[in-house]
Amino acid sequence: MPFEQQRYRASGLNLVTAAIVLWNTVYLERATQGLVEAGKPVDGELLQFLSPLGWEHINLTGDYVWRQSRRLEDGKFRPLRMPGKP
């Protein structure tokens, strides 16, 4: 593979990684806020050790199913899954 194509592929992977980190950071913040609002104890000292680099929940196979019934409005988020709630 020519160097230029390798560079494009690497740049694409960097972009995907950055998007995953951003998405995870947004949801980690929302999850933390949700726990605080639910009255759950959140140790602020431990938050510095959270990492948004996990991506087990991200599908990178290229197989995507978009359900129109679950579509969210712009600027809206899906509900957080709270422990102990269905």
**73 vs 76: CA distance, rounded Å:** 5
Asked if 50 and 28 count as a contact pair (C-beta separation under 8 A), the reply is yes
- Which residues are within 8 A (CB) of 52 and not within 5 positions of it... i.e. 6 or more apart? 20, 21, 22, 24, 25, 28
- Dihedral sign (CA 60, 66, 70, 74): positive
The model's pTM: 0.64
pLDDT at 29: 92
Q: Which tokens is 69 given?
A: 């019934």
Model pLDDT for residues 1-24, shown as the tens digit of each residue: 788 888 878 888 889 888 888 988
pLDDT at 36: 92
Model pLDDT for residues 21-76, shown as the tens digit of each residue: 898 899 899 989 989 998 989 998 998 898 888 777 777 777 777 666 677 788 88
pLDDT at 22: 92
